[in-house]
C-alpha cells in the first residue's frame, strides 16, 4: 500500500529525516516510536505533503505521490491526524466531517451522511456534532483530528500522538478502536509514546532517532532491543 524509500528532510543544517525507508501493507499497523525531536512528526509532514521532501520517494499503491500537494494526497487516500489539533474555530464538528468526506473523498448525499455518522460514532463525538471547533476541549480536539482523517476515506492513516491526555481506560478504548479499523484496504501508521498501547495495536514498530531508523521489527523484538531500551524506554522511566 505505502512504500517509502530513502526519505530525507533538512531544515537548514539540521537533518531531521535522514534516509528513512519502510513499507506498510493494507491491514497493517506500523507503530512509530522515538524520543521527542526524533523527526516523527516531520516524517508525517513529508508523507502527507505538508512539507516538500529533500530526497526520496513516496509511493501509494505503486503510484509516485512524492511531488503532489497535500489536498491531492488526501484525495488519493493519505489522511492525517495532526499532533497539535487544527480544528476550524467557526465550523461545527459535523461540518468538519462533511468537508472531509466531500473534499477528501468526493462523497455526496447518503454516502456522505453515512461516512460522517460513522466517523462521529467511532470517535465518540456524536453528542458534540453541533459544537464549533472553538468550543472543543483538547481531548475532543484530538478526537476530531481522528474523525476528520476517518471521514476523508483513508487508504493510509497517519496518526500522530492522538492519545495525549487520555486516561488509562481511554487508551485501551483507543487501542480497540485502531484494531477495529484494521482492514485490507487500510494501512495505519501510529506515532505514540505509550509503549504498551503501541505494542497492542501494531504489527511492527519502527524506532526513529535523530531522523534515522534504529530498528523496525515485530513489537516484542523492538521493545526488547537494548538500543531501544536505552534510548527510549529508559528515558521514559526517568521522566
String of contacts with other proteins for each residue 14-53, x by CB under 8 A: ----------------------------------x-x---
Q: Which stretches within the chain are classed as H helix?
A: 40-48, 70-76, 93-105, 109-123, 138-151, 168-181, 195-201, 219-224, 226-228, 234-238
Minimum CB distance to other proteins smaller for 141 or for 182: 141
Residue among 155, 206, 164 at smallest CA distance from 183: 155
String of contacts with other proteins for each residue 135-154, x by CB under 8 A: -------------xx-xx--
In the set 7, 38, 98, 162, which binds other proteins (CB under 8 A)?
A: 98
Minimum CB distance to Mg ion smaller for 26 or for 35: 35
In the set 11, 71, 184, 235, which binds ligand ADP (CB under 6 A)?
A: 11
The reply to whether 40 sits near ligand ADP by the rule CB under 6 A is yes
Cβ partners under 8 Å of residue 157, min gap 6: 79, 80, 81, 149, 150, 181, 186, 187, 188, 189
The Cα 17–Cα 43 span in angstroms is 7
Please give the span between the terminal C-alpha atoms of the chain, in angstroms, as a whole number.
36
* Site of interaction with other proteins (CB under 8 A): 48, 50, 69-72, 74-75, 79-80, 82, 86-91, 95-96, 98-100, 102-105, 133, 148-149, 151-152
Q: Where do contacts with ligand ADP occur on this chain (CB under 6 A)?
A: 11, 16, 34, 36-42
Amino acid at each position: 500500500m505505502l512504500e517509502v524509500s530513502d526519505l530525507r528532510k533538512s531544515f537548514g543544517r539540521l537533518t531531521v529525516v535522514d534516509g528513512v525507508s519502510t513499507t506498510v501493507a493494507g491491514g497493517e499497523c506500523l507503530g512509530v516510536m522515538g524520543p521527542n525531536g526524533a523527526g516523527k512528526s516531520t516524517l508525517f509532514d513529508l508523507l502527507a505533503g505538508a512539507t516538500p521532501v529533500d530526497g526520496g520517494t513516496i509511493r501509494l499503491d505503486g503510484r509516485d505521490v512524492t511531488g503532489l500537494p497535500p489536498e491531492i494526497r488526501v484525495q488519493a487516500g493519505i489522511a492525517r491526524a495532526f499532533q497539535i489539533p487544527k480544528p476550524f474555530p467557526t465550523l461545527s464538528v459535523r461540518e468538519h466531517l462533511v468537508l472531509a468526506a466531500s473534499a477528501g473523498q468526493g462523497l455526496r448525499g447518503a454516502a456522505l451522511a453515512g461516512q460522517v455518522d460513522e466517523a462521529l460514532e467511532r470517535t465518540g463525538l456524536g453528542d458534540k456534532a453541533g459544537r464549533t471547533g472553538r468550543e472543543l476541549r483538547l481531548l475532543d480536539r484530538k478526537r476530531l483530528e481522528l474523525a476528520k482523517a476517518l471521514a476523508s476515506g483513508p487508504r493510509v492513516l497517519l496518526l500522530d500522538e492522538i492519545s495525549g491526555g487520555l486516561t488509562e481506560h481511554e487508551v485501551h478504548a483507543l487501542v480497540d478502536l485502531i484494531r477495529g479499523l484494521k482492514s485490507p484496504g487500510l494501512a495505519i501508521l501510529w506515532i505514540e509514546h505509550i509503549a504498551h498501547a503501541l505494542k497492542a495495536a501494531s504489527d511492527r514498530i519502527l524506532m526513529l532517532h535523530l531522523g534515522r531508523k534504529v530498528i523496525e521489527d515485530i513489537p516484542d523484538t523492538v521493545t526488547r532491543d537494548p538500543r531501544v531500551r536505552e534510548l527510549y524506554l529508559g528515558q521514559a522511566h526517568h521522566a
